[in-house]
Amino acid sequence: MPRFFLSRTEFDPESGFLTLRGSDAHHLTGVLRMKTGDPVTVSDMQRTDYHCRITGISGDGVLLSIESVQANMTEPPVSVSLFQSLPKGDKMDWIVQKSVELGVTEIVPVMSSRCVTRIPQEKISSRTERWQRIAEESGKQCGRGIVPTVRQPVSFSSALTLCETLDFPVFCYEGEGTEPISRVFDPIRDRLSGGTIRPTVGVFIGPEGGYGLDEAESARSAGIPLASLGRRILRCETAPLFFLSALQYALELS
């Protein structure tokens, strides 16, 4: 069933109806060729799903009648912020798309010391908007209850500052002084077993050349544990997906 996102500020659920407009309406009728009577799911981006049916199609949009409402069941039990150092080429597109499928809540592109890619100032907004569109489309495809946020790129030091408010930050590193991610996951599981609602997790993933020793030491000094992703060196586009998959297994599937 096709899924769309619509902010609660754009409709009143008590009315029993909502309207899709613009590109969503065009996609529904012009691309998917859906007609009156067909079912559609709309998420309010606050983890609530509205199961609807097309009631009318006009130049103003597509009118949907709300048939049932239920809590979205696809969101993970933790809120995950991915601090991804900018990779080369279009790898970030892939990382955004797949990270959303694997349950990430927020993606923060990071300019760390070994990043080869440097986005010109005048292109930062358009690049971020592109990644946000990819996140929304991926969220629709995989049935998310929210639209994960993609922030504008930040410096490494700013990323460390953003991590100060998170419950469980993790710095993935291939050098010495690390611990297995399974051990890093243990306190998160303990917190969840205590009934805490959606603890926050942050994960740092480096660029093609990895993190420098000074960056690893800065993370350690900030109280962020250094974690190993195993015996093999993973590509920068593989590492976040490995971490998120392992986290999902540890918290949702085991």
Which tens digit of pLDDT belongs to each residue from 56-91?
999 889 999 999 999 999 999 999 999 999 999 999
- CA distance to 42, 43, 88, 187, per residue, from 69 (Å): 10, 10, 43, 34
The span from the CA of 37 to the CA of 25, in Å, is 15
Residues 45/5, Cβ–Cβ less than 8 Å: yes
Domain with 12 in it: 3-71
User: Among 52, 71, 90, where does a domain finish?
Assistant: 71
Residue 245: how many other CB atoms lie within 10 Å: 14
Largest distance between two CA atoms of the chain:
62
What is the model's pTM?
0.90
- Within 8 A by CB and 6+ apart from 131, the residues are 92, 93, 96, 107, 109, 150
Nearest-angstrom CA–CA distance, 209 and 114: 6
- Tokens describing residue 201: 């997790």
Does one domain contain both 177 and 222? yes
Q: Supply the pLDDT for residue 80.
A: 97
Judgement on whether residues 100 and 21 belong to the same structural domain of the protein: no
Q: Where among 71, 96, 119 does a domain terminate? A: 71
Average pLDDT over residues 221-247: 94
Q: Which of 71, 94, 109 lies at the terminal end of a domain, its last residue?
A: 71
Reported as a pLDDT band with limits 50, 70 and 90, residue 137 is very high
| pLDDT over threshold 90, residue 169 | yes
The pLDDT of residue 254 is above 90: no
Question: Do both 142 and 106 map to the same domain?
Answer: yes
Average pLDDT estimate for 188-199: 84
Q: Which of these ranges, 35-49, 180-194, 210-224, has the smallest mean pLDDT?
A: 180-194
User: Do both 103 and 12 map to the same domain?
Assistant: no
Indicate whether 66 and 87 sit together in one domain. no
Whether residue 185 sits in one domain with residue 65:
no
